[in-house]
A and B are shown apart, each in its own frame.
Chain A
Amino acid sequence: MRFWHKIFLLVIVVFLISFDVTAFMIINKSYNLVKQNDIERTLNETRIILKSVEDRISKVEKYYTELNTDNMQMYISPYGEYYKNQGVYLMIRKDDEILYSNFKEELPNIEKSSIEFNTINDTPYMFISIPFSDQSLTFTYIKDETILSDYRNEMSMYTFIISIIVSVCLSAIVIIMIIKLTKPIEDLNKTAKHISKGNYTERAEIKSKDEIGEFAQSFNTMTESIELHIKELSELTENKQRFIDDLSHELRTPIASIMGYSEFIKNANCTDTQKSKAIDYIYSESNRIQKLSEKLMILTSLKNDDLQIQEIDLHSLVNTVLQTLHSKISEKEIEAVTDLNVASVESDTVLLESLIQNILENAVKYSPHSGKIVIKSYAKDDLLFVTISDNGTGINKNELQKIKEPFYKTDKSRSTKSGGVGLGLSICEKICEKLGINMKINSKINEGTEIVLEFTTV
């Protein structure tokens, strides 16, 4: 059953019951009042008639020793005839014997002093019996009460018709109102269905400030948060997909070279110079794949490893890294300067070392011959900063936005020659995320690059 069916039925049933019960009670009350009134009036009338009848009889009694039906008929019939025209019948009894009666119907048993209502042949009558003042006779006044009972019936019928008309009107009003009231719910339902089909940008229209309006409001809030989550999710999968695409591209190129050169050596009628060239390429390209897999391993292990936070001596850490890169640094005759004002930091040794090594590797890579690399640490506003700057080639603004993307290389041919796979900064980014470090890159073309590590809470 639809919601509006329920409301509709409920309203109509409640209306009919309350209206009819009220109407019935009012009719009953009014009927009783009218009846009471009627009884009193009739009683008075009866007394008056009785008085005059008694007078007449008392006058007549002087002539007749005995009262019987015949003489009663004679005395009373003028009254009887007179009242009969007004729907009133008279009867005089002596004990149970009827001395006079102009009532044609069969009489029920009537008490000597009573007010009774009886229905004879579908006609309601009121019987008022009063004994004569000397108790010798009983006078009964019989009144046709059809008008009174008709009044009640007519009132009931009228009420019934009114209630039907009103309920029809009411139904129409109720239906229109329900439709108006449930329209926003219907709309919400439609919107919800749209959304469930994946149309996450759809919103419910808020038309009122009542509960339904509030509901629409919270519905919209919910949809917004769903949309946001879906967006985040799809962005995440998109990023992953792009990573995989890029990775497969990065793998295809060296594999294509390796396959091609080995095929060349195998099949071609080539000179020794060509052959050794091919072998060199095979070697360097496999080296590239090996480097790539190494970096990938670091990236994946970053996702799993738990942190081991401890007090780290920056001096020894930087020295270790410089030692590792010693051959490359001395090859280019680069001057590495350390200026560590803050000597210790709380972090994870392995990750921090890997981070600084990656950054330094890049610095060395892009530094000119006999360049200068400066590693600084200092405290500012209760925060620890480590900066690594070089006077190398620098990165232009457009590329600055892209360099953190996996596999992005600023100078492809050069980085390929030096063995870069384009994952260094991605790794740095991931490590920073894990260690709670803000990494900023400031760079100017031909002036150098500065990487600022801001250690927030660990």
Chain B
Amino acid sequence: MIDILIIEDEIAIAELLHMNLQLVGYNPHICEDGLKAESYLELNSPDLILLDIMLPEKDGYELLKTILPKEIPVIFLTAKGSVEEKVVGLKSGADDYITKPFAMVEVIARIDAVLKRYKKHSNKFVIDDIEVRFDEHKVFLNSNEINLTAKEFELLDILIKNKNIALSRDKLLELVWGYDYMGETRTVDVHIQKLRKKLSLEKRIVTVYKIGYRLESDI
């Protein structure tokens, strides 16, 4: 399980992140201010930190200085949206910068990207009889390798990363095929059908009415 520390004084935001991250399979923990975070970090070593800049007691920049030697990746999470602030944030050593308000998909994608860079992401995902090996780009059903096209694998990857969260067809199209892909959302439906069939995920990949698809797994 990957541990993520959320340092955020706005309880509503912290809880929101906590709920979402738990849903997609991370193990989040909340600290409401800089001092609490510091004492937490003395005993624990999370895999990634989501750090708000404006914090009581000790602000994000100050806190970052004590985090950097620990070599824990940090993503700034803040309401300060100006370019200068972003530059200052990134220059101070943070790995990424997310401004409020944010979409959860984006936060998850960025967390995943940073974890990948640090090679901290899990390279294996198991659900029912299926095993996905991300590094090898291979999928096994009952230990038998199943051949997936590149797009099918990517789609599965995205669904796993955002498991328990529905993704719209448009979002999937954008994430798997890219912004400039001119195809229709039907393409997504076709690929979903194929994935379901090949991996017998009919019950796991759920069609969410009027929204899109969601890979459901136990938390």
Contacts and interface: CB of A to CB of B under 8 A. Distances in A.
A249 B56 contact: no
Interface stretch (A143-151, A232-240, A261-269): A261-269
12 contacts: A249-B79, A252-B101, A253-B12, A254-B12, A256-B101, A259-B103, A260-B20, A260-B101, A261-B12, A264-B104, A278-B16, A413-B9
Nearest to B32: A413
Contacts of B32: 413
Nearest to B55: A412
B100 interface: yes
From A249, A257, A266, A285, residue with most partner B Cβ within 10 Å: A257
Given A252-B79, A266-B166, A274-B19, A412 B12 contact: no
B211 interface: yes
Interface in B18-47: 19-20, 23, 32
Interface string B140-177: 00000000000000000000000011110000000000
Interface of B: 9-13, 15-16, 19-20, 23, 32, 54, 56, 79-81, 100-104, 164-167, 206, 208, 211, 214, 216
Given A253-B100, A260-B104, 6 more contacts: A252-B101, A257-B10, A263-B104, A267-B167, A269-B165, A270-B23
Contacts of A259: 101, 103
A319 interface: no
A338 to B, nearest CB: 35
Contacts of B9: 412-413
A354 interface: no
A281 interface: yes
Contacts of B81: 248, 252
- Categorize the interface residue count of chain A: 20 to 34
B100 A269 contact: no
Interface of A: 248-249, 252-257, 259-261, 263-264, 266-270, 274, 277-278, 281, 284-285, 412-413, 416-417
Going nearest first, the 5 A-B pairs with the smallest beta carbon separation are A256-B101, A256-B100, A267-B166, A257-B12, A252-B79
B100 A252 contact: yes
From B9, B10, B32, B54, residue with most partner A Cβ within 10 Å: B10
A248 B20 CA distance: 25
A369 B113 CA distance: 49
A194 B77 CA distance: 44
A264 B107 CA distance: 13
A248 B101 CA distance: 11
Given A249-B79, A256-B101, A278-B19, A267 B13 contact: no
B20 A264 contact: yes
Given A249-B79, A263-B104, A264-B104, A281 B164 contact: no
Contacts of B23: 268-270
Nearest to A274: B19
A417 B9 CA distance: 12
Contacts of A281: 12, 15-16
B10 A253 contact: yes
Contacts of A257: 10, 12-13, 16
A267 B208 contact: yes
Contact of B56 (A263, A269, A412): A412
A253 B13 contact: yes
B56 A260 contact: no
A448 B206 CA distance: 58
A235 B39 CA distance: 40
A256 B79 contact: yes
B10 A416 contact: yes
